Amino acid sequence: MKILVCVKQVPDTTAKLVTKADGSGIEERGFKWVMNPYDEFAVEEALQIKKANAAANITVVTLGPKARVVDTLRTALAMGCDEAALIDAPAEADSYLTATALSKFIEKEGGYDLILTGKQAIDGSQSCVTQMLAENQGLAHANIVSKLELGSDKSVVERDLSGGAKEVSEIPAKSVIGANKGLNTPRYASLPGIMKAKKKPVNEVSLGDLGLSDSDSKTKLSSYRMPAERPPIKFLDGEAAAQTSELVKLLREEAKVI
Amino acid sequence: MSKVLVFCESANGSIKSSSLELITAAKNSGLETVTCLLGSDAPTLAASSGNYGATSSVVCSDASLDAYNSDAYFNALEAIIEKVAPTIVLASGSAPARDVFPKLAAKFDSGVAADCTSIEFNGDNVKLSKPLYSGKCIADLDFQNSKIQFVLMRPNQLPVGEADASATASVEEVALPAKDLRVLIKEIVQGASKRVDLTEANIIVSGGRGLKEASNFKLLEDLADVIGASVGASRAVVDAGWVDHSMQVGQTGKTVAPSLYIACGISGAIQHLAGMSSSKVIVAINTDKEAPIFQKATYGIVGDALEVLPVLTEEFKKIL
């Protein structure tokens, strides 16, 4: 059984980001690059499937500027993935180009029996690649998955819907599954795992190898800017009774939100 | 003339206001506005989409579309898009729309702009802006060489126009394509909460570690009942298992932008602030005056949320 896990490298959630003065992007310094948190659940799920099925082989793939994204592949290898592939592409690659390149990579590698992704990347929050990749591959998908029971032919998945509701559905075992928090508890890479990961080869592929180019994105971001400053805070003084009555008055009369 | 296709969803027997926002924006663009609706109440609602400026509507009223199924929705919407041949497709970022439209975009060899907060029409093209990194910064988005421009807007971002009850849209039905469904929905398990989802809520009361223990979320529930709010939480208390992950606000939870956000006992980790700081009005209640949440707040109360909350709830009861 061949499993593919698609991961993305993103700035750590604690990162304080600053946009470049010319608006062309963010300043790529002063923070750590990490594996997208939702992709960690996808990697862990693949590892747990392999634990129950020793014949499984896990390939982790990422797309981005190779000099930095290779670190995220090393993390996935250190967690226990068997093989790693890197599609070298500009950071600006959009959901369309990412899904198209992943799809062409999958065809080049002869296909996979199960494809796992995170439900969305926390940078652009598009939450599109899972579904686009499924369509490109002619597969069904389930995104925002918090439980996966893999069968030989069909799987049962639980998806998180709005307001805490859950949907239980049956889906072909060969599908694209987007992992949500709650699916499992991702492991930390062990020290021996980290050492071993350093020696594992990374299969490098260029967009050109896949018949694509940098300009194949269908959307383009520009004019990066910081959000507008919020007006200064108004602290409410006194005891709880005085504070709350003043607050309710302000919410009704000044802010007009109640 | 180019057409804008607006996907409309309904709740409680009428078109959702998040969909009306999009009809209004499409109408104001000067392009031909066509709506589409799915499910058994679609024909009635479709006609009423004309009140807001749609000239025509295409529906698929098959009852199997009353509940979301990714394959069935895809099949119906693919048929509708082929029939209408729009340049731009607009949908609000509801769970079903966010699930199905990226798949349709791939089908039509097109790009998607998701989680957008503003939209401008420029001839046959749209220019969007969207928060990145859950709102740590913002950027503009343009399409390039996209056959269709698929746009998913965040709810509550745009104005809804005045309804003109005399204007109705012509309604045309398409048959649901007879294709096998690969995905079979077996069961929907309702969540414990009957409240509006955080991403669509107009008011949110949110709790963090300052509430001391899980049972104290009852104080937030009581306040939420009085002011019609949804209840959110910080990552710390979700990770501690106090509440479900569906309630988490922040970069690894939900990004929210309600009119009013009341943060109780939340100090304001960067990833939480990223997820809520585009709220219109923010109230923070925290014992520590130096807590980062106060840097984003409109109104601040330095105090113990456990003491302030019951008093605040009583205070709201007086006027609501």
ipTM for the assembly: 0.96
pLDDT on residue A164: 86
| Selection from B194, B242, B197 nearest residue B218 by Cα | B242
If residue A6 lies in a helix (H) or strand (E), which one and from where to where? strand A2-7
Distance CA B255, CA B276 (A): 6
A232 confidence band (pLDDT: 50, 70, 90): very high
pLDDT on residue B190: 87
* Beta carbons of B223 and B262 less than 8 angstroms apart: yes
The stretch A25-32 carries a mean pLDDT of: 96
A81 confidence band (pLDDT: 50, 70, 90): very high
Distance CA A52, CA A41 (A): 17
Q: Do A258 and B260 touch (CB under 8 A)?
A: yes
Distance CA B90, CA B97 (A): 10
Residue B192 scores a pLDDT above 80: no
Which residues in chain B touch residue A172, judged by CB atoms under 8 angstroms apart?
A: 182
Architecture of domain B3-173: 3-Layer(aba) Sandwich (3.40)
Q: Where in chain B is the domain with CATH 3.40.50.1220?
A: 198-319
The stretch A76-93 carries a mean pLDDT of: 98
Which residues in chain A touch residue B201, judged by CB atoms under 8 angstroms apart?
A: none
The stretch B33-46 carries a mean pLDDT of: 97
Per-residue pLDDT reduced to its tens digit, A111-130: 999 999 999 999 999 999 99
The stretch B288-310 carries a mean pLDDT of: 97
Residue B1 scores a pLDDT above 90: no
Same domain, A253 and A157: no
pLDDT on residue B181: 96
Residue B89: exposure state from Cβ atoms within 10 A (0-12, 13-18, ≥19): buried
Distance CA B297, CA B302 (A): 12
Distance CA A18, CA A224 (A): 9
Residue A73: exposure state from Cβ atoms within 10 A (0-12, 13-18, ≥19): buried
Same domain, A203 and A123: yes
Same domain, A139 and A255: no
Q: What are the percentages of helix, strand and coil residues in chain A, rounded to 5?
A: 35, 30, 40
Helix spans in A170-220 (H): 191-199
Provide the b/e sequence for A107-138 (b: ≥16 CB within 10 Å). eebeebebbbbbbbbbbbbbbbbbbbbbbbbe
Same domain, A134 and A208: yes
pLDDT on residue B102: 98
Same domain, A95 and A205: yes
Distance CA A26, CA A13 (A): 15
Q: Percent of chain B at pLDDT above 70?
A: 100
Provide the b/e sequence for B214-236 (b: ≥16 CB within 10 Å). eebbebbebbbebbebbbbbbbb
Q: Which of residues 99-118 of B touch A (CB under 8 A)?
A: 99-100, 102-107, 110-115
**Secondary structure class of B274 (helix, strand, coil):** helix
In SS3 terms, B93-114 reads as CCHHHHHHHHHHHHHCCCEEEE
Q: Provide the domain count of chain A.
A: 2
Q: Which of residues 271-310 of B touch A (CB under 8 A)?
A: 271, 274, 277-278, 280-284, 289, 294-303, 307-308
Q: Where in chain B is the domain with CATH 3.40.50.620?
A: 3-173
In one-letter notation, the amino acid at residue B197 is: D
| Selection from B144, B160, B129, B182 nearest residue B52 by Cα | B160
Position of tokens 């939420």?
A: B224
B156 confidence band (pLDDT: 50, 70, 90): confident
**DSSP result, B176-187:** PP----S-EEEE
Position of tokens 């097109």?
A: B110
A162 confidence band (pLDDT: 50, 70, 90): confident
Q: Do B191 and A164 touch (CB under 8 A)?
A: yes
Write the residue in B103, B111, B307 that is nearest to A218 by C-beta: B111
Distance CA B183, CA B81 (A): 22
Select the residue from A40, A41, A122 to test the B interface by mutation, using most B Cβ atoms within 10 A.
Answer: A122
Q: Do B133 and A252 touch (CB under 8 A)?
A: no
A207 confidence band (pLDDT: 50, 70, 90): very high
Which residues in chain A touch residue B234, judged by CB atoms under 8 angstroms apart?
A: none
Q: State the Cα angle at B186 between B185 and B189, rounded to 5°.
A: 100
Examine residue A67 and state whether it is found in any structural domain, yes or no: yes
A101: domain CATH number? Answer: 3.40.50.620
Which residues in chain A touch residue B274, judged by CB atoms under 8 angstroms apart?
A: 13
Same domain, A183 and A251: no
| Extended beta strands in chain B, E state | 3-7, 10-11, 14-15, 32-38, 56-60, 88-92, 111-116, 118-122, 125-132, 137-143, 149-153, 170-173, 184-189, 203-207, 230-233, 260-264, 281-286, 299-302
Q: Do A126 and B114 touch (CB under 8 A)?
A: yes
pLDDT on residue A208: 98
B194 confidence band (pLDDT: 50, 70, 90): confident
Same domain, A211 and A234: no
Same domain, A117 and A243: no
The stretch A41-57 carries a mean pLDDT of: 97
* Beta carbons of B310 and B219 less than 8 angstroms apart: yes
Same domain, A233 and A208: no
Same domain, A31 and A89: yes
Residue A212 pairs with which residues in a beta bridge?
none
Examine residue A222 and state whether it is found in any structural domain, yes or no: no
Structural domain range at position A115: 2-216
CATH number of B198-319: 3.40.50.1220
Residue B206 pairs with which residues in a beta bridge?
B232, B263
> Number of A:B CB contacts under 8 A?
274
pLDDT on residue B60: 98
The stretch A93-108 carries a mean pLDDT of: 98
pLDDT on residue B191: 81
Same domain, A118 and A236: no
* Beta carbons of B177 and B275 less than 8 angstroms apart: no
pLDDT on residue B193: 74
**DSSP result, A222-237:** EEEEPPPPPPPPEEPP
Per-residue pLDDT reduced to its tens digit, B49-88: 999 999 999 999 999 999 999 999 999 999 999 999 999 9
Per-residue pLDDT reduced to its tens digit, B227-254: 999 999 999 999 999 999 999 999 999 9
| Selection from B168, B206, B228 nearest residue B305 by Cα | B206
Distance CA A9, CA A216 (A): 20
**DSSP result, B147-183:** SSEEEEEPTT-SPPPPP-TT---EEEE-PPP----S-
| Extended beta strands in A8-136, E state | 9-11, 33-35, 57-64, 83-88, 114-118
Which residues in chain A touch residue B246, judged by CB atoms under 8 angstroms apart?
A: 160, 163-164
Residue B33 scores a pLDDT above 90: yes
pLDDT on residue A127: 98
Q: How many residues does chain A have?
A: 258
Examine residue A22 and state whether it is found in any structural domain, yes or no: yes
Same domain, A134 and A233: no
